[in-house]
Amino acid sequence: MVLVKLNVGGETFLTTEETITKEPDSMLSRMFKGEWETPCQQDEEGRFFIDRDGSTFKHILAYLRAPEQADFGGRLSDWEHHQLLADANFFLSSQLHFNWARCLK
């Protein structure tokens, strides 16, 4: 198992390469397979830096870990709902984005 340390908008996350690359068409998977147009930048502590909102990324990561359990509907503010849809569009493939939107209803 390969651990991956991430810095998303100043928040630190620890996950596995298996989780990050679970969905082969996603931006995250392409980034860690070296297929993303912009190389991964690392912060001063060696964490991969992604310039997005860390408070919403935790939901994206939870979805990748257990998509069958993802159900955030009714528990999010309007801002969080909007931001999660934007981040799902950024991080995930179009099919995952569709499934993600279903989790927010």
Query: What is the mean pLDDT for each group of 10 consecutive residues in the chain (105 residues)?
Result: 94 95 85 76 92 87 83 74 82 59 54
3-8 sheet: strands from edge to edge: 11-16, 3-8, 48-50, 41-42
**pLDDT for the residue numbered 3:** 95
Q: Residue 97: name the closest of 13, 33, 26 by CA.
A: 26
Q: How far is CA 59 from CA 19, 32, 46, 79, 83, in A?
A: 13, 19, 23, 14, 11
Residues 6+ apart with CB under 8 A from 10: 54
Residues 6+ apart with CB under 8 A from 24: none
**pLDDT for the residue numbered 55:** 86
Task: For residue 3, give the 3-state DSSP assignment.
Answer: strand
| Cα 54 to the center of its chain, rounded Å | 9
